[in-house]
Amino acid sequence: MNHILIIEDEQDTLENLLHRLGIAFPDFKISSAFDCDEGFRILNSSKVECPVTLLITDLTFRRQPESRILKDGLSLLYKLKELHFNIPRIVYSSHDELKFIFPIMKNMQPEGYVLKARDSTNELLLAISKIVNGATYYSQEVHISQRERFEYAFQLEEIDKLILYYLPTTNCITDWDDLYEAKKITIGYKSVQKRLQKIYEKMDVTNEKQLLLKLQQLAII
């Protein structure tokens, strides 16, 4: 049985989410917590009878007691990683700053990161639908932030950006040759492979499949 745990300290937001999730996923068990300590207790106590299969957490919690141990969503994510809790996670936060997005994507690699806004509940429902079926989902702003940082950090040229843009849809040599003949890229297959090899080295991977997986995990593509 699917069991979703939502950790959110804004009462109105939480009530809206519980209502909408109950309608969208009537067969799911939905639990909630107002802080990460309570959420962690639920994760532990539900292990035997009905384990949590998807965690949705905010990053910052303003209305919390001083005595709490897990101060924020990031602390919880680190704790779960440390204890090898292998459950899909969605960060649902209004933080769209690179200083939040980059370390979370690099170190935690959550299956979802949805930016919280007035009309973001539908996007969160879409993310849940994808993630419970084994996919990932990130808000467009998260993709843009990650991609821009990646392009800057690795000093990618325009042709490299194009190669990465087309990489998910190319399966063989002829696909690259078709792109070249259609003038969508300016270099042929052999030159593409040389440029990909340099990217492999920078990303610490050895082939296209590994590169695609890593780029997807980091929300770059």
Cα–Cα distance measured from residue 7 to residue 14, given in angstroms and rounded to the nearest whole number: 8
The one-digit pLDDT tens for each residue of the chain (221 residues) are 899 999 999 999 999 999 999 999 999 999 999 999 999 999 999 988 999 999 999 999 887 777 788 989 999 999 999 999 999 999 999 998 888 899 999 999 999 999 998 789 999 999 999 999 999 999 999 999 999 999 999 999 999 999 999 999 998 888 999 999 999 999 999 999 999 999 999 999 999 999 999 999 999 98
Cα–Cα distance measured from residue 192 to residue 185, given in angstroms and rounded to the nearest whole number: 9
Identity of the residue numbered 213: L
Nearest CA to 57 out of 21, 129, 8 is that of 8
Helices (H), strands (E): how many in the chain?
Answer: 10, 6
Give residue for tokens 């990618």: 156
What's the whole-model pTM score?
Answer: 0.86
Taking the CA atoms of 94, 98, 99 and 100 in sequence, report the sign of the dihedral they define: positive
